[in-house]
A and B are shown apart, each in its own frame.
Chain A
Amino acid sequence: MSEALVEVGIGLAALALVGYLAMRISLSVIPAYIVAGIVVGPHEPTSVLGLSLTLVPETEFIEVLAELGVVLLLFFLGLEFSVDQLLADRRRILTAGTADLGINFGAGIALGLLFGLDATTTLFVAGVVYISSSAIVTKSLIEEGWIANAESEPILGTLVYEDLFIAGYLAVLVALVGGSDDVAAVAQDVGIAFAFLGVLAVGAWVGTAVLDRVFAVDSDELFLIGVLATTTLVAGAALTLGLSEAVAAFFVGAGFSQTEHVDRIEHLIAPVRDLFAAFFFFAIGLTIDVTVISTVAGLLGAAVVVTTVTKVVSGTVSGRAYDLSPLRSLRTGIGLVPRGEFSLVIAALALGASGQVATVIPPFAVGYVLVMSIVGTVLIQHSDRLTDVLVPLLPGAG
């Protein structure tokens, strides 16, 4: 017990330290947390100046904390998923989101095929490079003041579309890594996954009134514990049935999103999410042997270059769909470049799989997120230089 406590203490200290450094240089904390896990974890680097750096092993205890991080990340995705916004602006969101999906998911599939990966691994690569980081993107929007500009509309619209897509996508991936090689069995698993999605969606829809009533408690403490209990139980039940715990959590969040408790959850539970999500990024870092990243260097390098360009292109197309000027369209693209937490959720899924998926995806996704979270943030911070050069080249520039 004393060992576990010391390990968690070291983990938290490392997270606090790197988090502070990341904030000082205006970068996202996500890559910093991963680096913290890599440094104090059991893999390289194992020592510095003769001091051991294998301080925190991959224990089941930290895994559970990390798993709660995934569940809460997806719970909040569901909580903040705006059905009203999607319906009110469906035509433009559909156009922008489909351009984003087609170009970036398509680029991921092309990369997978080009590097001779199998079908499942290719599907994972496509997901990792497709989905932008809501956390990094919205934080950058606020910091740069773009939130009040016209380009924030297609950016937020695209994120809504991606959120919905990832719920379905994760459900399918879980079925795919379920273990069976037989096409019919996989098809059946995917069918069950979609039936599960349907049940959860209906549950979220119908459950609103019940959740409203049940959670109308005065005590913040009971409220916090109750919401966490509901989310964790539903997610755990899904996992036991061989379904995606993340998707289950998404729909629990969606169920709460229509209740009167949203603000209270944002107040009370967001800090809990931040804590466990930090452990999730940390745990991903623990599992990664950085020397293994070099085995996927070719794929990684190609993906970074190609999918930076494709995000900028797809975003520009989305911006045009919103009738924005060339400058604002280009900014839409630049704003969506950061990838982060959801690419890692996909990677975490690959950790539990077998075959090529398990060997290629985790190091690829970690390397990719480390680069793209930083590249994306820096591109947004220095977007003026990029747009000064590119805008005159776009059709319709005045």
Chain B
Amino acid sequence: MTVYETDVPGVGRKFELEIGDDQRLVAVLHHDGKRDVYIRPSDDADSEQLFTLSGDQARKFGSILEGAYFQPVELDEVTVPLGEAIIEWHEVGEGSELAGDSLETASVREKTGASIIAIQRGSETIPNPTPDTRIQLGDTVVTLGTRREQSELEALVAGEE
């Protein structure tokens, strides 16, 4: 995936991106921020202009394409005082010694320090599981603990072999 850059005197800069089958996306960035985007179906074809964006529109659209665009987080909703703890999701893998055990037998909390706060089974979620809830192969356990505790638990759950 090569990007070709060319200066366009008096206008700005042109970028060409190969997108397979001889096709190229061509973007012309004007000094005033305007972006023209073209597609060129093959080396020897006339390009077709797809759209023109202002600088602001282009930056927003670019971040959407990049997968980096999310609605800003409402800060007052995430004041959960977890301290150093984090919540993680672990899948119970083949060969995990926890599979088939009840939470009481598994005694994850004693072994690792992290505690299981929910179990996701298929499309169903069991919140606040009781000591006699059994862990099954393929479950995803949701756990609360520090990074170190989480990594110890991960070893237990994933069934390292």
Residues of A near any B CB (own CB < 8 A): 76-77, 80-82, 85, 134-135, 138-139, 141-142, 145, 147-150, 152-153, 156, 159-160, 163, 263, 266-267, 270, 324-325, 327-328
| Chain B contact surface mostly | strand
Q: Across the interface, do B47 and A149 meet the contact criterion of CB distance under 8 Å?
A: yes
Q: Across the interface, do A147 and B14 meet the contact criterion of CB distance under 8 Å?
A: yes
Tell whether B7 is near chain A: CB-to-CB under 8 Å: yes
Q: Across the interface, do A270 and B31 meet the contact criterion of CB distance under 8 Å?
A: yes
If the complex has contacts A325-B44, A328-B44, are A156 and B31 also in contact, measured as CB distance less than 8 A? no
Tell whether B153 is near chain A: CB-to-CB under 8 Å: no
Q: Across the interface, do B46 and A138 meet the contact criterion of CB distance under 8 Å?
A: no
A134's partner among B10, B28, B46, B48 (CB-CB below 8 A) is B10
If the complex has contacts A150-B43, A325-B44, are A138 and B49 also in contact, measured as CB distance less than 8 A? no
For the complex with contacts A141-B8, A142-B36, A324-B44, 18 further pairs of A-B residues with Cβ separation under 8 Å are A77-B9, A80-B7, A80-B9, A82-B7, A134-B10, A135-B10, A138-B9, A139-B10, A145-B38, A147-B11, A147-B36, A148-B26, A148-B38, A149-B45, A149-B47, A152-B6, A267-B32, A270-B31
Residues 13-48 of B contacting A (Cβ, < 8 Å): 14, 16, 26, 28, 31-32, 36, 38, 40, 43-48
With the chains together, A85 CA to B9 CA distance in Å? Answer: 11
* CB closest residue in chain A, given B12: A266
* CB closest residue in chain A, given B9: A80
Residues from chain A with a CB closer than 8 A to the CB of B45 are 149
Residues from chain A with a CB closer than 8 A to the CB of B43 are 150
A157 CB → nearest B CB, Å: 9
Q: Across the interface, do B28 and A148 meet the contact criterion of CB distance under 8 Å?
A: yes
B8's partner among A135, A138, A145, A267 (CB-CB below 8 A) is A138
A147's partner among B28, B31, B32, B44 (CB-CB below 8 A) is B28
* CB closest residue in chain A, given B39: A148
* CB closest residue in chain A, given B50: A148
Residues from chain B with a CB closer than 8 A to the CB of A163 are 9
Residues of B near any A CB (own CB < 8 A): 6-12, 14, 16, 26, 28, 31-32, 36, 38, 40, 43-49
10 closest A-B pairs (Cβ-Cβ)? A148-B47, A148-B38, A148-B26, A80-B9, A266-B31, A82-B7, A325-B44, A138-B10, A149-B47, A138-B11
* CB closest residue in chain A, given B5: A85
Q: Across the interface, do B28 and A142 meet the contact criterion of CB distance under 8 Å?
A: yes
B15 CB → nearest A CB, Å: 10
B17 CB → nearest A CB, Å: 12
Point out which of B11, B28, B40, B45 has the most chain A C-beta atoms below 10 A from its C-beta.
B11
16 contacts between A and B (CB under 8 A): A77-B9, A80-B9, A134-B10, A135-B10, A138-B8, A138-B11, A145-B47, A147-B14, A147-B26, A149-B40, A150-B43, A152-B14, A267-B31, A267-B32, A270-B31, A324-B44
Q: Across the interface, do B6 and A153 meet the contact criterion of CB distance under 8 Å?
A: yes
Q: Across the interface, do B46 and A149 meet the contact criterion of CB distance under 8 Å?
A: yes
With the chains together, A324 CA to B43 CA distance in Å? Answer: 9
Q: Across the interface, do B31 and A263 meet the contact criterion of CB distance under 8 Å?
A: yes
Q: Across the interface, do A134 and B31 meet the contact criterion of CB distance under 8 Å?
A: no
Residues from chain B with a CB closer than 8 A to the CB of A263 are 31
* CB closest residue in chain A, given B38: A148
* CB closest residue in chain A, given B46: A149
B9's partner among A134, A267, A325, A328 (CB-CB below 8 A) is A134
A269 CB → nearest B CB, Å: 11
With the chains together, A66 CA to B40 CA distance in Å? Answer: 42
If the complex has contacts A149-B40, A266-B31, are A159 and B47 also in contact, measured as CB distance less than 8 A? no
B20 CB → nearest A CB, Å: 17
